[in-house]
Structures are given as structure tokens and as C-alpha cells.
């Protein structure tokens, strides 16, 4: 049996504060034998902010710290963050697996406020944990029946 959970947490513009919250919930999930823990959109940086001022190196360092916690606590995690790829900024969900693998989904259906900062993703993401397949949607993606 697979146990999945969602962490509905308060977001801050302070990445360190968000990392403390993420770490706490990963630890709690481990104690509850959660297999997959999902965090909100842009959880690492906060959502209501100017994303042009986000330090991408700090985002990547934070993802590396979370990856270590994922491996140590044996809890797979999906965490939201702005993510640079091919010199473009995306609103992304990063899947961090206990085996060290990462999968990245870029939000496809952007809000008007997203469009001010992010490029539109093009590919859906399906990944597997054990024998279970998962898909990733971010907020407005739920309005697209083809993605679901």
C-alpha cells in the first residue's frame, strides 16, 4: 500500500524559513510512513513575489539540501520552485525521489500573474514510485482535462 500526503503550509519570501518548514514536514511524514509528500506551488521561494529577484543558485542549493533529507528520511517529495532551464524561468514542481533521482515538471497552464515571470511548460510528467504511477499538475493545470 502507498501512502501519500499533502503539506498545506504557509509560504514566505524567505527561503530559509520555507526550508525549515519543509524539513519539519519531511520528518513528520517519515514518522507516519508517508511514501510521497507534496508541497505547494513555489514552496521554496513563496508565491506572491517578484521572481526576477530570486537567486537560482540558492534554489538549487535548497533542492540539494531537501534531496539529502528525502534520502535520509525515506520520503519521496514533490516541491514547488521557480526553475531555470535553457535560459528560461519556469514555475516548476520538482520530484525528489529517495533513490536520488529527480523529475521536473514545468507548469503548462499559467495564470496571468505567472505569465509576467514564467515561460509555459510543454510536457506533462508521469513518474513512478514502486508500482504506482503519478502525474503532476500545478494549480490551473487542473482546468485542462487532457492533462488530468
Rounded (10°) angle between helices 56-73 and 15-31: 10
Q: What is the pLDDT of residue 54?
A: 96
8 by DSSP, 3-state: which? coil
Architecture in CATH for domain 4-143? 4-Layer Sandwich (3.60)
User: Angle at Cα 133 formed by Cα 43 and Cα 139, nearest 5°?
Assistant: 35
58 by DSSP, 3-state: which? helix
Mean pLDDT, rounded, for 17-25: 98
18 by DSSP, 3-state: which? helix
Q: How far is CA 145 from the centre of its chain?
A: 21
| CB 17 within 8 Å of CB 24 | no
Output the pTM of the full model: 0.95
23-78: per-residue pLDDT in tens? Answer: 999 999 999 999 999 999 999 999 999 999 999 999 999 999 999 999 999 999 99
Mean pLDDT, rounded, for 135-148: 85
| CB 96 within 8 Å of CB 63 | yes
Q: Which segments within the chain are labelled E, that is strand? A: 4-6, 36-38, 76-85, 88-96, 102-106, 126-129, 132-135
CA distance 101 to 52: 28
98-127: per-residue pLDDT in tens? Answer: 999 999 999 999 999 999 999 999 999 999
Q: Which three cell numbers stand for residue 75?
A: 520520503
Q: Is the dihedral angle over the CA atoms 121, 15, 3, 98 positive or is it negative?
A: positive
Amino acid at each position: 500500500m502507498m501512502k501519500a500526503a499533502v503539506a498545506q503550509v504557509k509560504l514566505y519570501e524567505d527561503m530559509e524559513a520555507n526550508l525549515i518548514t519543509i524539513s519539519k514536514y519531511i520528518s513528520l511524514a517519515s514518522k507516519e510512513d508517508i511514501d510521497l509528500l507534496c508541497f505547494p506551488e513555489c514552496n521554496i521561494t513563496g508565491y506572491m513575489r517578484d521572481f526576477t529577484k530570486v537567486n537560482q543558485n540558492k534554489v538549487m542549493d535548497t533542492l540539494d539540501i531537501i534531496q539529502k533529507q528525502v534520502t535520509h528520511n525515506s520520503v519521496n517529495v514533490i516541491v514547488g520552485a521557480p526553475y531555470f532551464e535553457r535560459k528560461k524561468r519556469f514555475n516548476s514542481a520538482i520530484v525528489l525521489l529517495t533513490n536520488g533521482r529527480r523529475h521536473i515538471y514545468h507548469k503548462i497552464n499559467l495564470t496571468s500573474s505567472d505569465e509576467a515571470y514564467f515561460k509555459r511548460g510543454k510536457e506533462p510528467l508521469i513518474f513512478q514510485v514502486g508500482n504506482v504511477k503519478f502525474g503532476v499538475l500545478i494549480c490551473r493545470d487542473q482546468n485542462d482535462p487532457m492533462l488530468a
